Amino acid sequence: MFIRVLGAAAGGGFPQWNCNHPNSRLARKKSKNALARTQSSIAVSLDRKKWFIFNASPDLRQQLWNNPELMPSEDDPLRYSPIMGVVLTNADVDHIAGLINLRESQPFNLYATKRVLEVIKNNNVFNVLNPKFVNRIPIKLQEYVELLYNNGEKSKIVIKPFSVPGKVALWLEDDHKGPDLGSVEEDTIALEIKVDDRKTFFYIPGCASVPDWLKNKISGSDVLMFDGTLWTDDEMIKDNVGIKTGKRMGHISIEGIDGSLKRLDDINVGKKVFIHINTTNPVLLENSKERKIANQHGWEIAYDNMELEL
């Protein structure tokens, strides 16, 4: 299985369009220590010919341009896409807005929880994905499902969604619904992804904490891609670019007593990769002390077009 990072940054990307934080500024200047990154998405394939996209970022069009294997090749029919399906882990703007790029009557399968499919159904703009061509397939928590190519053939890629600590998408938050803002289990999922029961990959781009059960579940896997949104929980407040903590946004911080670095330090995993990284996170900078610390603890920092093979 090939895992290609299409976009390694969190919502807004790196640099974020309206952000003049020193990190964003360095990326905008194209500093060699601040490699720009597009918004959160990966693609998975067994043959580098047919692909499933996991989360559809607003930058999808640019990401296809950066990954020609995901566009029609010279030998393909007049209308064709190697994108066989899209799997969503939540309804965040950075994970669904890219669906709009996939209009034009192209058949593919769209997988998400019933809850996220409902959100998409309730928003008429997604009618551009003509139901005649795009199958919306609900995935159930804790149940394995084999992804299908757009001709109905089995792909051998099997996914199992499970709920992780998190919250409803920012644009769906409801203050009247109490401290969890109306979040339900199916709002934020993680995915276990495997082929022929051989190797296991966990994709968890959004997660608010690492309870023991999650740690045990991930343990023994081959690749973990995990929420690397913020280094410090209050980094956006400290840096004067926002008013929210990571906790409020449904994202664990890397640093801290309950942070991912500590919680996942002793875990037995082949490769640990931070993904969905916010423009304020110092780990984005190649020469930062935070990058060094993350690397020393065995973490790699995802970048656009990074490819892993399982």
Q: Which residues bind ligand MLT (CB under 6 A)?
A: 10-11, 92-94, 170, 206, 249-251
Return the number of the residue (90 or 150) whose C-beta is nearest ligand MLT: 90
Neighbouring C-beta atoms of residue 72, cutoff 10 Å: 13
Interacting partner of 249 out of Mn ion, ligand MLT, none (Cβ under 5 to 8 A depending on kind): ligand MLT
Lay out the sheet containing 223-227: strands in order across: 145-148, 154-163, 189-195, 199-204, 223-227, 271-275, 299-301
Nearer to ligand MLT, 10 or 117 (CB): 10
How far apart are CB 40 and Mn ion at their closest, in Å? 6
HSE-CB at 203 with a 13 A cutoff on CA atoms is 24
Contact set for Mn ion, span 51-110 (CB under 5 A): 92, 94
Kindly report whether the peptide bond that precedes residue 82 is cis, defined as omega within 30 degrees of 0: no
Q: How far apart are CA 301 and CA 295, in angstroms?
A: 8
CB of 216 to ligand MLT, least distance (A): 25
Q: Tokens 């920012």 sit at which residue?
A: 170
Q: Which stretch binds Mn ion (CB under 5 A): 9-17, 27-35, 130-138, 293-301?
A: 9-17
> For residues 82 and 250, which CB has a smaller minimum distance to ligand MLT in the complex?
250
Binding partner of residue 255 among ligand MLT, Mn ion, none, CB under 5 to 8 Å per kind?
Answer: none
- Least gap, CB of 49 to Mn ion (angstroms): 29
Contact predicate 251/228, CB 8 Å: no
Phi and psi, residue 96, nearest 5°: -120, -20
Using alpha carbons, list the distances in angstroms from residue 181 to 77, 227, 248. Answer: 47, 21, 10
Question: Which entry of Mn ion, ligand MLT, none binds 97, CB below 5 to 8 A by partner kind?
Answer: none
Beta carbon of residue 40, minimum distance to ligand MLT (angstroms, whole number): 7
Burial class (CB in 10 A: 0-12, 13-18, 19+), 270: middle
Count of residues engaged in binding Mn ion, rule: CB under 5 A = 3
CB closer to ligand MLT out of 55 and 109: 55
Least distance (Å) from ligand MLT to the CB of residue 166? 9
Using CB positions, name the residue nearest to ligand MLT. Answer: 11
Residue 3, contacted partner among Mn ion, ligand MLT, none, CB below 5-8 A by kind: none
C-beta of 11 vs 98, nearer to ligand MLT: 11
- Report the residue from 1, 4, 6, 11 that binds Mn ion according to the rule CB under 5 A: 11
Which of residues 263 and 276 has its CB atom nearest to Mn ion in the complex?
A: 276
170 binds, among ligand MLT, Mn ion, none (CB under 5 to 8 A by kind): ligand MLT
- Residue closer to ligand MLT by CB (options 3, 230) is 230
Closest CB 92 distance from ligand MLT, rounded Å: 4
Tell how strand 189-195 and strand 199-204 pair up: antiparallel
Own/partner contacts of 152-155, CB < 8 Å, gap of 24 or more, are 155/46, 155/50, 155/52, 155/84
Nearer to ligand MLT by Cβ, of 54 and 157: the residue is 54
Nearest to 136 by CA among 167, 95, 126: 126
Should residue 187 be labelled a site residue for Mn ion when binding is judged by CB under 5 A?
A: no
113 and 119 Cβ atoms separated by less than 8 Å: no
Are 9 and 277 spatial neighbours (Cβ–Cβ below 8 Å)?
yes
Q: Which residues bind Mn ion (CB under 5 A)?
A: 11, 92, 94
